């Protein structure tokens, strides 16, 4: 049986609170105390101003109308005629009421005359009503002054609250339990990989849990730890997990919060942050992106440089002022440790430097398993194989990859994540999203197929080249097609032979276009390849001291990274290095062209297969090349090689 609606009395309906707009309610619920006080002061000042305006308007509307002016002579004549009924004498004049139409009506007039001119005796003798009205005090200046003072006080309060907010920094999360300040407690179990970093931070956890054990043997606790490494590898997660593992509060601040225009404001924020950390001790004080506030100081400079130098000096002073027995451990994170001020890195400030690098093969598998937890994976999914395909990815990249695969599965209406979803997610992360809506004309598709077949064939037939993983003519991102290589195993060093093979594979696309279509028909599609060849060759010469085959290295010392030192290199030395770079690039192009000329039937067969199937994996491409080399007659069956095979010269194709 439905519950009958509750009856509300008529009296309660009358006194019901008026509805408040939802934006105001939302502001009042989420605003701080200072914001509420400022809003209340603004409402009071506005209400006072509105009340004064309404009072002045009411006085103007309800008061008597303005009196008609009268000369002093007319005033004397009316007095002599006995027409004056009443007079209100004022210091600077008089308000005169005259009888009109035999006394049935009256009119008001104003006479401007000093008080000494008033004929008081004659007015009294005529029987007129006489009143004296002193000068009314002018309240408008007082009201205006009060409103001005209230406005100044309101602006001063707003400025004080603004400065308080500007000098306040850091966010505090409770690490002693779950859900403090809306943040779930994080421990080392929630951070996959980075086992070496966890071991380095383990004694800090032990100290925060039981500082007496360290004090008993006279061991000085670690004051600061610098976490450095590429972005997205878990530096912030490690700091939060350290606080959660030790069960202490976690204070988080970003280096950008200390950068201000006003000199001294950043230093004030640093002092307040460390004072708050001392009150919360034992705790973890985490400074994220510390390179934004602690960059190397320079002599002189502008006002911004002086503010930066003062902030760095204050940070160094606060770090020196921390006693290890207070229980405050400073954790800093940066992606650019080389930009930090040298005084910041000495022992006693940051005692340890922990590198948080990209995950290894086993760590990637653990990270994928962590982020796949709670997601319905198909039994065919092999996370170990997926980890082998994602070499070089950070932890954030892997988390995004698993989530992207889940999104793709949900988009197609499936209830579990299939291996194909993960494959597509990896391709999207490495190669970019597909552009199936991009329609190329037949000539352009042919050029793209030959170009990518050139890359793939050189990768398959060049010693030292990475294994071919996939070749496709489907447009992805800004590329119209691509050939993807993947190392067979995880390696951290590369030989000169492998680097030369990389240059040859990159030059294979342009060499294939020139070989099949002629020098006049090469296209703009090789712009990225040529840029890669130039950059890789320059790095080999300038940084690694490597030259082409059969030549002595042009340099044995790395090119100085500091521009001031690079300017000291002689023009002759720079010319020799640039000549070595050009020789490397030309040698790579010649190597790619030799491979393609030796396996021309395989090139045409591979291009034809790409025209028909659009995508080939490494095994399928190898099978096509082997079949073409075994039976050269298959070239005659392709539509690409028929017009380009000798002795008939190739017909040029217009560049797209």
Q: Which residues are catalytic?
A: 452
Q: End-to-end CA distance of the chain, in Å?
A: 76
| Cα distances (Å, whole numbers) of residue 552 to 64, 439, 502, 573 | 110, 49, 20, 15
Residue 252 β-bridge partners:
171, 286
Distance CA 535, CA 512 (A): 21
- Determine contact, residues 443/405, Cβ cutoff 8 Å: no
Distance CA 273, CA 251 (A): 9
Nearest alpha carbon to residue 273 among 296, 255, 297, 295: 255
Residues whose CB is less than 8 angstroms from the CB of residue 482 and which lie 6 or more positions away in sequence, other chains included: 431, 452, 455, 471, 472, 476
Distance CA 594, CA 258 (A): 59
- Determine contact, residues 292/304, Cβ cutoff 8 Å: no
Estimate to the nearest angstrom the gap between the alpha carbon of 290 and the chain centroid.
Answer: 16
Q: What are the φ and ψ backbone dihedral angles of 598, each rounded to 5 degrees?
A: -70, -30
Distance CA 376, CA 402 (A): 11
Consecutive H or E run containing 617: strand 615-617
Distance CA 37, CA 23 (A): 17
- Determine contact, residues 402/372, Cβ cutoff 8 Å: yes
Burial of 571 (0-12, 13-18, 19+ CB in 10 A): exposed
- The residue count of the chain comes to 656
Cis amide linkage into residue 282, ω under 30° from 0: yes
Distance CA 644, CA 636 (A): 10
Consecutive H or E run containing 479: none
Distance CA 59, CA 320 (A): 69
Estimate to the nearest angstrom the gap between the alpha carbon of 204 and the chain centroid.
Answer: 31
| Cα distances (Å, whole numbers) of residue 547 to 419, 560, 563, 591 | 43, 18, 24, 15
């Amino acid at each position: 049986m439905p519950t009958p609606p509750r009856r509300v009395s008529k009296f309660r309906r009358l006194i019901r609170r008026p509805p408040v707009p939802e934006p105001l309610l939302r502001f009042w619920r989420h605003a701080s105390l200072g914001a509420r006080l400022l809003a209340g002061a603004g409402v009071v000042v506005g209400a006072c101003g509105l009340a004064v305006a309404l009072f002045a308007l009411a006085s103007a509307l309800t008061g008597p109308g303005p009196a008609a002016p009268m000369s002093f002579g007319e005033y004397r004549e009316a007095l002599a005629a006995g027409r004056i009924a009443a007079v209100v004498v004022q210091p600077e004049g008089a308000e005169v009421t005259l009888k009109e139409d035999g006394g049935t009506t009256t009119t008001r007039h104003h006479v401007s005359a000093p008080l000494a001119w008033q004929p008081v005796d004659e007015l009294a003798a005529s029987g007129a009503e006489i009143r004296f009205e002193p000068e009314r005090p002018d309240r408008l200046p007082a009201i205006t002054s009060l409103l001005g003072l209230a406005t100044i006080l309101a602006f001063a309060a707003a400025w004080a609250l603004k400065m308080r907010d500007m000098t306040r920094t850091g966010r505090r999360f409770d690490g002693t339990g779950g859900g403090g300040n809306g943040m779930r407690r994080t421990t080392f179990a929630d951070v996959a990989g980075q086992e070496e970093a966890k071991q380095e931070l383990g004694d800090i956890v032990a100290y925060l849990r039981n500082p007496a054990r360290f004090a008993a043997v006279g061991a000085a606790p670690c004051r600061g730890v610098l976490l450095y490494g590429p972005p997205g590898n878990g530096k912030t997660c490690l700091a939060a997990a350290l606080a959660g593992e030790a069960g202490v509060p976690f204070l988080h601040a970003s280096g950008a919060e200390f950068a201000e225009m006003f000199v001294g404001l950043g230093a004030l924020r640093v002092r307040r942050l460390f004072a708050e950390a001392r009150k919360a001790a034992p705790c973890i004080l985490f400074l994220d992106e510390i390179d934004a506030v602690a960059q190397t100081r320079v002599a002189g400079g502008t006002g911004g440089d002086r503010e930066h130098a003062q902030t760095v000096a204050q940070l160094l002073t606060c770090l020196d002022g921390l006693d290890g027995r207070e229980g405050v451990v400073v954790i800093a994170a940066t992606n650019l440790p080389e930009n930090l001020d040298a005084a910041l890195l000495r022992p006693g400030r940051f005692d340890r430097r922990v590198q948080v690098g990209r995950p290894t093969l086993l760590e990637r598998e653990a990270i994928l398993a962590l982020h796949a937890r709670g997601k319905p994976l198909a039994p065919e999914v092999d996370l170990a194989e997926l980890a082998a395909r994602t070499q070089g990815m950070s932890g954030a990249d892997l988390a995004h990859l698993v989530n992207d695969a889940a999104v793709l599965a949900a988009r197609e209406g499936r209830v579990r994540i299939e291996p194909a979803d993960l494959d597509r997610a990896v391709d999207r992360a490495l190669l970019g999203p597909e552009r199936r809506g991009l329609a190329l004309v037949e000539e352009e598709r042919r050029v793209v197929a030959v170009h990518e077949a050139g890359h793939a064939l050189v990768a398959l037939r060049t010693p030292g080249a990475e294994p071919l993983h996939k070749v496709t003519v489907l447009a992805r991102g800004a590329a119209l097609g691509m050939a993807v290589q993947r190392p067979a195993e995880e390696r951290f060093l590369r030989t000169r032979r492998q680097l030369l093979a990389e240059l040859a594979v990159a030059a294979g696309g342009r060499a294939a276009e020139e070989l099949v279509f002629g020098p006049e028909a090469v296209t703009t599609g090789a712009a990225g390849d040529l840029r890669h060849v130039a950059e890789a060759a320059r790095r080999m010469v300038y940084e690694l001291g490597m030259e082409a085959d059969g030549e002595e290295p042009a340099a044995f010392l790395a090119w100085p990274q500091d521009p001031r030192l690079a300017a000291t290199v002689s023009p002759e030395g720079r010319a020799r290095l640039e000549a070595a770079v050009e020789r490397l690039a030309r040698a790579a192009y010649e190597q790619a062209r030799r491979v393609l000329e030796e396996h021309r039937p395989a090139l045409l067969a591979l291009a034809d297969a790409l025209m028909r199937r659009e995508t080939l994996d490494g095994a399928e491409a190898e099978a096509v090349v082997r079949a073409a080399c075994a039976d050269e007659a298959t070239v005659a069956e392709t539509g690409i090689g028929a017009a380009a095979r000798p002795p008939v010269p190739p017909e040029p194709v217009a560049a797209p």
